[in-house]
């Protein structure tokens, strides 16, 4: 089965930031590795240095790229709380980085690397130090950077360079490594904040569903609690009267029957009120919920009076569409329009940042909406639109539904 690679425009905002951030960290790794390799194979180093050292340092640099690339993938997942980093991988990456750095210093002692040594040391150390900064705290990162600079200062001093050259090399290397570590950690912090915002939005949607369930449970308890208690008491009284041969037992059971029938009617009213959604209320609620979530929402609704059945069905469409906008994709704008044309009411909900959700498998929510709309001879269309948008369109004919409501009224 061929693997489909998503283009940049078809990704959601969070997916774009995630891809950009991960690419930035991997770019830091491979820019350092390839930069060091090119410097080692260049004419100044290759001509003056020993061939064995050049080849060894190049191989160590490539091995560092492979190990630090794998370490970067695990480190980013661990930073986001989505996995753990193998300790053995950290040890191997640190050892290979130390080997590549040592090889560069040895080359500096045997070849003329004037002007190239600071860049080569920064390129050798940056991949591991930048990735490792994602695994520890800022204080630990600063301490490690200082320790590495002290070690580098001692190693460069052994190559016979002057104090000014050693100072320049240490400052340049420290600044480059510090900046790369800061870039990697800051980029991942921004990505982590966006992931938390996404999780908060999902929690908000789940809380809205839970609140509705609690409301329904509370209403059902208020209706059934008292009636069931009365039924239980009157049934117990009827049993006692029947055992004594009292004719009042029949009256008590008649009362039980009446209360049971009344309870059945009240429960039916509660369920009907729960299942039937008021369209105007749902439109206002959708605007409020989306605005609270930081999504710019525009609602355009006409003044036409719609039949009760049509309002209920379209109200559920608005409710489900709002939930999908909150839970899927990374929407910034949403438009809800309601219009009537040719005896057909058309409801369109369109939002951006939902291409990723639109490409997935349709959920049970859309199937439930189609069932509700089919009861009023309506149809539902949902799918991606131009510009990475997602559009949901519901159409309900008014002629037959209006006639049914008139018949029910009569």
Residue 349 has pLDDT above 60, yes or no: yes
Residue 379, φ and ψ in degrees, nearest 5: -130, 160
pLDDT tens for 127-139 read: 999 999 999 998 9
Q: Is the pLDDT of residue 70 over 90?
A: yes
Gyration radius of the chain's alpha carbons: 35
- Per-residue pLDDT at 359: 43
pLDDT at position 313 is 85
* Fold adopted by 279-409: Heat Shock Protein 90 (3.30.565)
Predicted local distance difference test score (pLDDT) of residue 401: 52
pLDDT of 407 reads 43
d(CA 225, CA 266): 12
pLDDT band, very low/low/confident/very high, at 398 (cuts 50, 70, 90): confident
Q: What is the pLDDT of residue 410?
A: 36
> How distant is the alpha carbon of residue 327 from its chain centre?
9
- Residue range 35-47: mean pLDDT, rounded: 74
Residue 5 and residue 7: Cα distance in Å, rounded? Answer: 7
Q: Helix, strand, coil: what percent of the chain each, to 5?
A: 70, 10, 20
CATH topology for 209-275 is 1.20.5
**At 98, is the pLDDT very low, low, confident or very high (cuts 50, 70, 90)?**
very high
Tens digit of each residue's pLDDT (9 = 90 or more) over 200-251:
777 776 777 677 677 777 777 766 776 777 788 788 888 888 888 888 888 8
Q: What pLDDT shows up at residue 134?
A: 92
- Listed range (29-38, 65-74, 107-116, 292-301) with the worst mean pLDDT: 107-116
Kindly state the average pLDDT of the residues 326-340: 83
Beta strands 379-385 and 333-341, pairing class: unpaired
Percent of the chain with pLDDT over 90: 28
* Count of beta carbons in the 10 Å neighbourhood of residue 362: 12
CB-hemisphere CA count at 13 Å for 348?
A: 16
State pLDDT tens for residues 308-322: 888 888 888 888 888
Residues paired with 284 in a beta bridge: none
β-bridge pairing 333-341 and 296-301 = parallel
Q: Could you tell me the residue ranges of all domains in the chain?
A: 13-200, 209-275, 279-409
Closest to 328 in 3D by CA, of 364, 300, 359: 359
Whether the pLDDT of residue 257 is over 50: the answer is yes
Q: Which of 217, 363, 372, 355 has the alpha carbon at shortest distance from 282?
A: 372
Three-state helix/strand/coil letters over 144-161: HHHHHHHHHHHHHHCCCC
């Amino acid at each position: 089965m061929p693997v489909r690679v998503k283009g940049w425009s078809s990704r959601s905002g969070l997916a774009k930031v995630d891809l950009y951030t991960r690419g930035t960290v991997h770019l830091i790794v491979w820019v350092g590795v390839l930069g060091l390799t090119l410097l080692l194979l260049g004419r100044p180093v290759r001509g003056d240095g020993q061939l064995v050292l050049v080849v060894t340092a190049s191989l160590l640099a490539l091995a560092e790229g492979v190990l630090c690339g794998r370490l970067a993938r695990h480190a980013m997942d661990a930073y986001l709380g989505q996995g753990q980093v193998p300790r053995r991988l950290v040890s191997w990456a640190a050892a290979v980085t130390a080997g590549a750095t040592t090889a560069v210093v040895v080359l500096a002692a045997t070849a003329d690397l004037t002007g190239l040594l600071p860049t080569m040391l920064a390129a050798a150390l940056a991949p591991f130090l930048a990735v490792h900064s994602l695994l520890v705290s800022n204080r630990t990162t600063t301490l490690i950077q200082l320790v590495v600079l002290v070690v580098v200062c001692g190693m460069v001093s052994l190559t016979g360079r002057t104090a000014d050259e050693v100072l320049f090399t240490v400052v340049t290397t420290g600044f480059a490594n510090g900046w790369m570590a800061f870039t990697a950690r800051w980029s991942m912090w921004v990505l982590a904040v966006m992931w938390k915002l996404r999780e908060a939005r999902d929690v908000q949607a789940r809380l809205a569903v839970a609140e509705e369930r609690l409301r329904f449970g509370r209403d059902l308890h208020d209706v059934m609690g008292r009636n069931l208690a009365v039924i239980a008491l009157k049934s117990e009284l009827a049993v006692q009267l029947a055992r004594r041969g009292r004719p009042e037992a029949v009256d008590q059971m008649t009362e039980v029957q009446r209360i049971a029938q009344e309870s059945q009617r009240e429960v039916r009213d509660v369920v009907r009120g729960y299942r039937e959604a008021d369209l105007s209320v749902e439109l206002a609620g959708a605007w409020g919920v989306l605005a609270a979530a930081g999504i710019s929402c525009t609602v355009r609704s006409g003044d036409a009076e719609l039949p009760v059945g049509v309002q209920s069905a379209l109200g559920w469409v608005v409710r489900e569409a709002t939930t999908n906008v909150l839970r899927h994709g990374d929407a910034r704008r949403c438009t809800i329009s309601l219009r009537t044309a040719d005896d057909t009411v058309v409801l369109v909900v369109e939002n951006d940042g939902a291409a990723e959700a639109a490409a997935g498998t349709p959920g049970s929510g859309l199937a439930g909406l189609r069932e509700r709309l089919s009861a009023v001879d309506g149809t539902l269309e949902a799918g991606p639109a131009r510009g990475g948008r997602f559009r949901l369109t519901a159409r309900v004919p008014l002629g037959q539904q209006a006639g049914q409501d008139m018949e029910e009224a009569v």
